[in-house]
Structure 1
């Protein structure tokens, strides 16, 4: 069942950010755009490359009013240890949520029940807490965080311009479409 258009379900979790532990709930997402980036586990192989890549896009995402949350079924304590011992993860400034209860991963339908680990899932969430995009990759396939900037811009454009849609490879400032009977079969 698709999560597109669904509100993020209630949760409360401990997280690590910039040398401190914080609490995060679904209410933390309200009033801003958010990205949830689920990954299988700390101290692994593909995961640090993805999270470092996401950090490299963090400033551009912040300029768009987006907060980033990485999530795994590890604890917030494990996130801190990984942050302290990995050169790649040590760069991270965004929030690292611990989900040892697996509730958040299950709510976002990315939990591998047999392994007890999250799949590689990326979600863009609007300021109302509603999921606008979903991307889920197999465990061995890393994601490219640079694509998130354009996806967020498109989601923000569509939200702010009802009745318009963004075509494939849409870039900010380029033409959009206004679906209508006259447009059918003309693209």
Structure 2
């Protein structure tokens, strides 16, 4: 069953944000747009490149009213140690959530049970707490924050413009489509 349009399941976890430990729950994902960005593990290879890319684009996400939550099955203590020792991870200002119990990874169906780590999963959640975008990639394939920004803008546009949809490669300000009988067979 797809997670699209399902509500985020309850969870509670410890996280690192701006050098402090905080508690994060499913309630934090409601009332604004959110990105939940799962990655396999701290102190790895592809992960810091992705997290740094998100950090470099975090201000753009914030301009859109989007909060980012990176999640791995490491503890919040491991996140702190990694943040303090990696130049790439040191740039992170968004919330780094620890999921050592695997509850969040199970909720989002990205847990690799036999390895105890999460797949590379990206979830865009609307202000009602419903999942609007799901993307899962293999462990060796890094993601692109600018492409994620494009998708978030499309999701926000569709949410605020009922009856319109965004075609492939749509970028903010470009023409959208209004599905109707008139368009059938003409695209």
Whether 2:64 is the aligned partner of 1:59: answer no
> What secondary structure, in the 3-state scheme, does the structure 2 residue paired with 1:182 have?
helix
Q: Please give the alpha-carbon distance, in whole angstroms, between the structure 2 residues aligned to 1:19 and 1:140.
A: 29
CA RMSD, aligned part only?
0.6
Query: How far has the Cα of 1:148 moved from its partner?
Result: 1.2
Normalization by structure 1: what TM-score? 0.99
Q: Which residue of 1 aligns with 2:83?
A: 83
Unpaired runs of at least 5, structure 2 = none
1:106-131 CA deviation, whole Å, 9 max, x = no partner?
11010000100000001110001100
d(CA) in 1 for partners of 2:102 and 2:93? Answer: 23
Q: What is the deviation of 1:160?
A: 0.4
Matched with 1:176 is 176
Structure 1 residue 78 displacement after superposition: 0.5
Partner of 1:150: 150
Equivalent residue for 2:101? 101
What is the distance in 2 between the residues matched to 1:103 and 1:113?
Answer: 12
Counterpart CA distance in 2 for 1:57 and 1:128 is: 24
Runs of 4+ in 1 over 2 A off after TM superposition: none
Distance 2:163 2:127 in 1: 19
Which whole-Å CA distance do the structure 2 matches of 1:147 and 1:57 have between them? 11
Deviation for aligned residue 1:30: 1.1
